[in-house]
Each structure stands twice: as structure tokens, then as C-alpha cells.
Amino acid sequence: MQINWFPGHMKRTLESLERETKNIDLVLYVLDGRAFLSTLNPKIDDIVKNKSILYVINKADLIEEKDSKRILKYFSDRQKNAICVTGTEKTASKQLFAAIKSIFKEKIEKSKIKGIDPVFKIMVIGTPNTGKSSIINTLYGQKKAVTGDKAGVTKQNQWVKIENNFVLLDTPGTLWPKMDDDEVKLKLAFIGGIKKDVVDDSELGFQLIKYLVKTYPECLKTRYNVDGFERETIEIYDDILKRLGCLMRGAELDYDRGGTKVLEDFRSGRMGKICLD
């Protein structure tokens, strides 16, 4: 399945990040908990490598607690700051502010001694649809950034003041120009990180089922009441589409509608808590 998406605004975003990063005190690097490795952008990694980074593992409600612990250990083992949150929940604000203030604790204390009231600039980055704007809205306390459950909602940089000492820069989600790993591209597409116009839902739904048959068959069994996972994937996929009622005239299967439904079940969490990485 061919997936290629790197529009002009993404190129401009990477160029903007290189300029803005020079004056940034902290980077909030938002990752999707379901694909925390696949949402690490190598181009962004290179741009922010010399900055303080807090990896925000978002959408933690869509993965198991054991996966959250495994992800945090992955970053801890590499001496990197990370936190697992669900950006749309009220508790996320308290968790995030605690983590941010912990990173700035020493600088804040030194500033108080000098009688200075510092303002720290924080940049929020990530690949499309990881929930960057939701994180900003949670920190801000009300809807300030534009959000949406699809790739490419934020189109330009937005500065937002969240507290007296902190301002945030929301940046458009961006991928990288040359994506060579087909599995990474698929995982990004599964979580909605690739613009819908670029992918074929019928084929993508099939590829998701193919992946889950090997990794999360129990989720498919629970959600769709299917079994017989030793069968060809297309047989299982057809079985699922029949159970979803995705039929056209003459009892012909509607693969377009079926693929979309399967993807929606996964992205909403109705299929169960699933971690792809």
C-alpha cells in the first residue's frame, strides 16, 4: 500500500521549527500512546536534540496501563523526561503543569532570589493528529487551539499564554519528507496521522485487520465475535464486514464503508486498548 504525504506547509513548518527552536526553553513533544515510536519524527528529533524535552505520551486512555509503564520505562532508560496523559481529561492539566514546573524548578527558584519573574517559552510539536492542540487547550483551561480528530487541523504557529510564567507555541503537525519504513507509514495511517484523502479506507481497514490478527486477535473476537484466525485475512475481513452490515445490493460487500467503520472502531477505542509499538 503506497502512502506518501508531505505537503508544502509541512516543509515550511520544519523550517519554522528550526528558527523558533533557538529561543525556546522547553519542547513538549506530543506522541500518540498507541504508536509512540512511529510518531517520533526523525527530522524533528534532529532539530530539537539540544533542547530540554518533555515527551507527552497522549491518548493514554486508549492503551493498557502495562503499555503506559513500558513506554515510560523506554524513555526513563534513555534518561529522557516523559509523562503519560489523556489530553482531553481535566486531570491532564495538573499532571502536565507538575511535570513542566519540575523541569523549571531550579531556574524558577534562582529567578525568585534575584527578584525576577521569568517567562518560559514552550514549543508544542508532534506528528499530525497526536493531540497537540488538545494538550494546549488542557493547559490553557479553555478552547484556544483548533482541534479535530483528523490530520492537518493546525495550519500555522499559534502563541498561547497559559500562566504568568509560561507561554506555549502550537505548531502544525508534520511528517518527514522521506518515509522509508512501510510499517511506520501504516501505523501512522491507522491512528489517523495521514490525511484521509491520501489513503484508501477499504485497503487500510484490511491492513489493520491483518495486523491485529497477529497481535490482538482477542480484540477482534470481542468486538466482532469472529474467530478462526488461522484463515486467510480476507476471509476474516469479509466476516467482520458482514457482521457490521456493510452490504450493498445483491449482498455484495461494501469495502469502502466497512474499512471506514473498522478504522473508526480502532481510533475510538471501541475495538479495545491497543498499542501498535
pLDDT at 201: 95
| pLDDT tens-place string over residues 99-130 | 999 999 999 899 888 988 889 999 999 999 99
Q: Which of 188, 189, 211 is nearest to 38 (CA)?
A: 188
pLDDT at 6: 57
Cβ contact 4:198 at 8 Å: yes
The CATH architecture one would assign to domain 200-268 is: Orthogonal Bundle (1.10)
d(CA 107, CA 33): 30
> What is the model's pTM?
0.88
pLDDT at 83: 98
pLDDT at 257: 96
pLDDT at 151: 45
Give the orientation angle of helix 182-190 with respect to helix 201-215, to 10 degrees. 100
pLDDT at 146: 43
pLDDT at 14: 85
Domain coordinates in residue numbering, the chain:
8-170, 200-268
pLDDT at 172: 83
d(CA 126, CA 213): 29
pLDDT at 7: 57
List, for the chain, all residue ranges whose pLDDT scores fall below the cut of 70: 1-8, 142-158
pLDDT at 4: 63
Of the options 3.30.2080.10, 3.40.50.300, 3.40.30.10, 2.120.10.70, the CATH number for the domain spanning 8-170: 3.40.50.300
pLDDT at 86: 97
